[in-house]
Amino acid sequence: MLNQQSHPNLDLMFQALADPTRRGMVERLSRGPVSVSELAKPFAMSLPAVVQHLQMLEASGLVSSEKVGRVRTVRIEAEALSQAEQWINERRTNWVKRLDRLGDFLAATADEEPESKA
């Protein structure tokens, strides 16, 4: 049976990143903080729809926002992305080790196989 550890923050992060619009927002925010209206410009949707996407990104911990006067500025939370990256890298490392062991096993057994008669 698989060891299924619960990672509620990761679950929310991957759920947030499952949507292409939110991934686009994260991509834009990786270049620096912007206002919500500036972030909304490239997307063909209403400002309330953009705000809903941002709420999901904030709930996941991937972005944060701050309101100064009438302007709400959104920024990426690098630590949250680092957590997701660490989780992915742990999986990748495990699979690389498994594939290396399989390669070693196949190389060892290839030397033991008798020549086939043609």
- Give the start-to-end residue ranges of the domains of the chain: 8-111
Rg from Cα positions in the chain: 22
Q: Is 50 within 8 Å of 58 (Cβ atoms)?
A: no
Q: What pLDDT sits at residue 3? A: 44
Mind listing the pLDDT tens digit for each residue in 56-70? 999 999 999 999 999
Q: What pLDDT sits at residue 76? A: 95
Q: In the structure encoding, which two tokens stand for residue 78, read together?
A: 């690098």
Instruction: Name residues of the chain where pLDDT drops below 70.
Output: 1-8, 113-118
Instruction: Indicate the CATH number for domain 8-111.
Output: 1.10.10.10
Q: In the structure encoding, which two tokens stand for residue 37, read together?
A: 């209206």
Q: In the structure encoding, which two tokens stand for residue 23, read together?
A: 């991934």
Q: Which of 115, 17, 2, 99 is nearest to 62 (CA)?
A: 17
Other CB atoms within 10 A of residue 60 CB: 23
Q: What pLDDT sits at residue 113? A: 62
CA dist 45 and 39 (Å) reads 11
CA dist 74 and 104 (Å) reads 49
The pTM score is 0.71
